[in-house]
Chain A
Amino acid sequence: MSTQSTATRMTIAKALNAGMRAAMERDPKVVLMGEDVGKLGGVFRITEGLQKDFGEDRVVDTPLAESGIMGAAVGMALRGYRPVVEIQFDGFVYPAFDQIVSQVAKMHNRSLGALKVPMVIRIPYGGGIGAVEHHSESNESYFAHTAGLRVVTCSGTEDAYWMMQQAIASDDPVVFYEPKRRYHERGVLDLGDRGGGSSLEDAPHALEDAVVRVEGSDVTVLTYGPMVKVAHAAAQAAELEDGPSIEVVDLRSLSPLDVDVIEASVRKTGRCIALSEAQTFASITSELAAHVQEHCFYHLEAPVLRVGGYNIPYPPSRHEEVFLPDLDRVLHAVETLLAY
């Protein structure tokens, strides 16, 4: 790293905050809404300091009613605003489910393109934090299943910063899943290399793009959000032991999927694991398995394996260490694939 470097180490939490700040500076129509997002800065402090700097009209502490927040945000979007809505925890999004599925997702289509609802729905998701019930869910499949929504998730600092801004700039509604157990992990954000970060043109990747995080030749691990780190660790562990070469693909966009990157990786390795915290049944990992076998059939050396949460309600946190996929479960799946 040169002495001129403008790189900083920053947590995902701070990068999300910086991304929202940049978007709010760029566009006066960007409005943050949610429970406790103002003075408190959100229960995870992701919006910390923004109300102080942008005022109560742009960082709105709402009543404690998720459908109300979502429906009001739809109305504000129809008036020309760009609401960024915080759902406090994954398991609290369901009261807003009707508004998201029936209205947010369908308004543009219903109006034959005349209306747009450019909103971002931020959801801290996933487990591993020892929380009580409803605070550890990975419910991204519900929204990925719904046409009209885009669903994305970040796994690190740089994506947190840029993807948040891209999601806010999108004319489509974007459900933005934030890996809450990674909020305080640090990564590098280098705006100096990217024109100071003033323009979205400088973003390293498009919002819809998947990115190969680790190159490998034997097994592809398709994953996203909090599990990217686990996949990364598995690849490193295998390498240290002169084991199989694992390629890690960070999907970033769950809807739509970047199928070109996915297919290219699987065609190269011939083996595929779909990895997530979410329960596997009727899930993103199911979709990945289906897509890969439909499109890469002749390249596969073995069936696609899914590694995810067991198909039970998210358990009390004393179980989560075995409920959540870890390094060992990933490596076990790798071994299974190679044994075919």
Chain B
Amino acid sequence: MKKPELLVTPTCVEDISPLIEAGATAIMIGEETFGLRLAGEFNRQAVEQSTAIAHEKGAKIYVAMNALFHNESLPLLPDYIQFLDRVGVDAIVFGDPAVLMNVKEHAPNMKLHWNTETTATNWYTANYWGRKGSTRAVLARELNMDAIVEIKEEAEVEIEVQVHGMTCMFQSKRMLVGNYMAFQGKDLKVQGRSKDKSLILHDPERDAKYPIWEDKNGTHIMSPKDMCIIDELEEMLDAGVDAFKIDGIQKDLPYIKKMTELYRQAIDLYLINPSDYEEKKEYFLAEVKKAQPSNRGLDTGFFFKETVY
């Protein structure tokens, strides 16, 4: 059986070595100007260092350029793409066709991963972006297991699926928190994400709490729970899904490292002996629960949920 990639997002350069040692085989990084909702901010120097570290340790490195770009950002794209090409990153993650066109022109050998998050919902469209030059599709988190497996069966490109962590529910270009504060006449400096404090929205109706923050790309609202399917990996491993992603956003190194180790063990165990995995999956889930921050519950995302419309 094929061994899938285990893709992890670090918070800083120093995280990369320990994460690869914990079992990550690919790392995704980037900076806010080009990428959305990253676990850490990696400037050009950090990208160079990260690439060197990852490659030395035999892991792939991907850089996020999946923002929604307005005209004013277009002049920045060629130089950044050429920089990434020079540094030798393994792929650029994109959503906006402007990035695809610039990569074709300025770095024609660079690999492209299509990731619009919410809109990658069927295999035809995954293959469409494949024909336009991307080698991988990152699936929407709103798909269920059956849909994921069917997409993998029909896909002519690699398929990446997030298996763990927080997911994005909403992105606005408006500065909603700042606007709210200004409207109330409150003098609160709206800060981006910080290590010490976070902003959350309470939803009394559903008894849920949603992380919310602002950055250059607008306002982001995130899922109230962390998705975790460490005990439900069989179908996707059988189907040959190419990459499993653990999103480290809003988490620290010890947590991300622990998750990386656990998923590494779980995947390896299943590939060697499915019945051993079967026996040990309760243990894996229990270990995840132990590491989980008290204010973040776990769920299985949309893997086993039916949505109506």
Does A pair with B? no
